[in-house]
Structure 1
Amino acid sequence: MNKTFHFQYILFFLVLFANGYCQNPLNLGNNILTADPSGHVWKDGKMYLYTSHDEECQKDFFMKDWHVFSSSDLVNWTDHGACLSVNDLSWADNFAWAPDCAYKNGKYYFCFPAGNGFKDRTNPKKSTKWMGIGIAVSDSPTGPFKDAIGKPLWTKPYANDPCLFVDDDGKGYIYFNGGGDYLVAKLADDFLSIKGDIQSMDMGGYKPKREGPWVFKRKDTYYYTMPEDNRILTYYTSKSPVGPWKYQGVIMDAEGESNNHHSIVEFKGKWVLFYHRWVENKSECGEKQRKVCAENLFFNEDGTIQKIKRTDAGVGNSFR
């Protein structure tokens, strides 16, 4: 084997390894720091990810905008830029945290948490931090989105990490973090307000601390998934979008003391788990920072979810 051929042989397998086996974190472009991925497949068949955007060495999750990414194969991604910023809001100036999006009647509804104030972690009684949930609208899945109502959907209770779920009959629901309870509200037909009261759901007697929920439907079963204790991905099932829910167990174990946030979505007949990891990053502060990853997700015959391990390979070339 001559040296030229030997070099080309090695280069070929290095490229093959890089493109086929090392997909985590996802290459979303320009080493951007992303978290809290919300995945959706719209009418063009592409996967769209709506994420929060960590700033380099940010202070206490002070975050300022949200990004949208799209892909046809989950390997090659397009960053469509910031679809909305706290600078576009009159009622909040910080905490651009975990978003979600829904589609109805030709419009895309971007649901986002934002707030103001300061959280005093040393003396919580001095904290002034407040967060609410807003709705922005666009004709395009990539935005730009415009704040549709100029205020949060409600001011009490304190709320963040929303999940929008649209059922087969077109009815919309919003799930969110609020005062530690497991809450849901029905959306009005225009998706710009809620209909009726915010409800506390029956979780079968088990309501641990958790981050934002993700709700989806498979066949005739509804799944309420969440980062339990902010770290362990777990889930419940129900025959109704508002419960009662039955706890089913762990999807993904914790990774140290780092938080997690996720979404689960069907793409090209297969299921995918998007989540974020805290990874080594060449930053001025030298700390681990968040980036979005993906894994294949599988169901058992009875509808329960098979436990997932984090991998460097991710989904590989499963969707090419």
Structure 2
Amino acid sequence: MMNKLTSLIASAVMAGAVTGCAQHSAEGQNAPGNPLDFGGNLRTADPSAHVWNDGKIYVYTSHDEECQEDFWMKDWYAFSSTDLKNWETHGPLLSVDDLTWADNYAWAPDAAYKNGKYYLVFPAGTGHKDRVNPENSTKWMGIGIAESDSPTGPFKDMIGAPLWRTPYANDPSMFIDDDGQAYLYTHAKDHDYHVIKMADDMRSTEGDLTKMDMGGYEPKMEGPWVFKRGDWYYYTMPENNRVLTYYMSKSPMGPWEYKGEIMGQEHNSNNHHSIVEYKGQWFLFYHRWLDIDSACGRQRHVAAEYLYFNDDGTIQPVDRTEKGVSDFADR
């Protein structure tokens, strides 16, 4: 009797363990479409999406190393697709080992195409951030720019230096207007909501960082992304580093009018995004903090959703979905 009871208990425990494993596996897979399946075990974040003349969509990302210390990151990747379901991996495109002026903090990149060249604009830095005693911090970050004849690199740091050293800056967003003028927006110490023009050769800046008129509303932010649709320019950002919000203007330098939320926060974690049109459809790329086969808890993973506009040009709010854009090729 005791042996039979013991056997039944053991069977129940084993069944519960199997059920628990199955649930964990299902949660780990998370979705048929989100996060995007870039293959392998790469942890990616800060997606910068672009469409080049070869008809593919490219997503440039930062690369989170497993259980990395305080966002100590070393290289950048890109992924290309024609259906947003099957992705080809390219990279690393560039590493901090290739730089003479930085050795860490390979954070959120952007990319651009001009003068027959592809450009990777990226933040990198040196030092250490002391979160307990901030006065002891030595961390510094600047914006670099690298060139290539191919959208997938290899990219080379042609100037061997950041575009500027002061102010401390990261999270670059490069926007090239219809007339070919390139504008660089960043998150910078005491210089948020600023813009600077790039020289025509894309290897230096012109003039100074210019403070834009944001209509009187300037919350804490990071990771700006600027794009144009029709006659409207859009300045989008993670407000308070969490909630994606946006402004609209008739000029890439403002004045800007605040319009509100695109996507709410999740897990009280940061977000970083980009918005692009591909084959007549607009998309929002962003990252999520998910526990997928990780020994370190939630890690960042790139996801995507469809994006829609109202008749007046304003953006419709976007919800996170499991399906994502997995059915795009079937539309």
TM-score (norm 1): 0.92
Deviations along 1:93-112, whole A, 9 cap, x unmatched?
00000000000121001100
Equivalents in 1 of 2:283, 2:307: separation in Å? 5
Alignment partner for residue 233 of structure 1, among 244, 255, 271?
Answer: 244
Q: Is the 8 A contact 1:35 1:275 kept in 2?
A: yes
Deviations along 1:77-128, whole A, 9 cap, x unmatched?
0001200000000000000000000001210011000000000001100000
Alignment partner for residue 216 of structure 1, among 220, 227, 230?
Answer: 227
Alignment partner for residue 197 of structure 2, among 186, 193, 197?
Answer: 186
Specify every segment of 5 or more residues in structure 1 that has no aligned partner in the other structure, as ranges: 1-20
Pairing 1:114-153 to 2, within 5 Å after superposition: 114-153=124-163
Specify every segment of 5 or more residues in structure 2 that has no aligned partner in the other structure, as ranges: 1-30
Q: Cα distance, 1:183 vs. partner?
A: 1.2
Q: Which residue of 2 aligns with 1:76?
A: 86
Equivalents in 2 of 1:242, 1:188: separation in Å? 16
Q: Which residue of 2 aligns with 1:296?
A: 306
Equivalents in 2 of 1:169, 1:291: separation in Å? 35
Q: Does 1:313 align with 2:313?
A: no
Q: Cα distance, 1:36 vs. partner?
A: 0.1
Deviations along 1:144-196, whole A, 9 cap, x unmatched?
10001000000001000000000000100000011142111000000110011
Q: Cα distance, 1:53 vs. partner?
A: 0.2
Equivalents in 2 of 1:264, 1:153: separation in Å? 25
Alignment partner for residue 270 of structure 1, among 256, 281, 289?
Answer: 281
Equivalents in 2 of 1:125, 1:182: separation in Å? 25
Deviations along 1:60-93, whole A, 9 cap, x unmatched?
0000000011000000000012000000000000
Alignment partner for residue 218 of structure 2, among 207, 217, 231?
Answer: 207
Deviations along 1:118-140, whole A, 9 cap, x unmatched?
00001100000000000100000
* SS of structure 1 residue aligned to 2:329: coil
Aligned length: 300
Equivalents in 2 of 1:210, 1:204: separation in Å? 15
Q: Which amino acid aligns with 2:127?
A: G
Q: Does 1:64 align with 2:68?
A: no
Q: Which amino acid aligns with 1:197?
A: D
Q: Is the 8 A contact 1:37 1:276 kept in 2?
A: yes
Larger radius of gyration: 2
Q: Does 1:157 align with 2:167?
A: yes
Q: Which residue of 2 aligns with 1:5?
A: none
Alignment partner for residue 41 of structure 2, among 7, 12, 31?
Answer: 31
Alignment partner for residue 255 of structure 1, among 266, 270, 286?
Answer: 266
* SS of structure 2 residue aligned to 1:319: helix
Q: Which amino acid aligns with 1:310?
A: R
Q: Is the 8 A contact 1:214 1:226 kept in 2?
A: yes
Q: Which residue of 2 aligns with 1:86?
A: 96
Equivalents in 2 of 1:130, 1:167: separation in Å? 30
Alignment partner for residue 246 of structure 1, among 237, 257, 260?
Answer: 257
* SS of structure 1 residue aligned to 2:193: strand
Q: Is the 8 A contact 1:268 1:319 kept in 2?
A: no
Equivalents in 1 of 2:279, 2:253: separation in Å? 28
Aligned Cα root-mean-square deviation (Å): 1.1
Q: Cα distance, 1:305 vs. partner?
A: 0.2
Equivalents in 2 of 1:314, 1:284: separation in Å? 26
Pairing 1:95-110 to 2, within 5 Å after superposition: 95-110=105-120
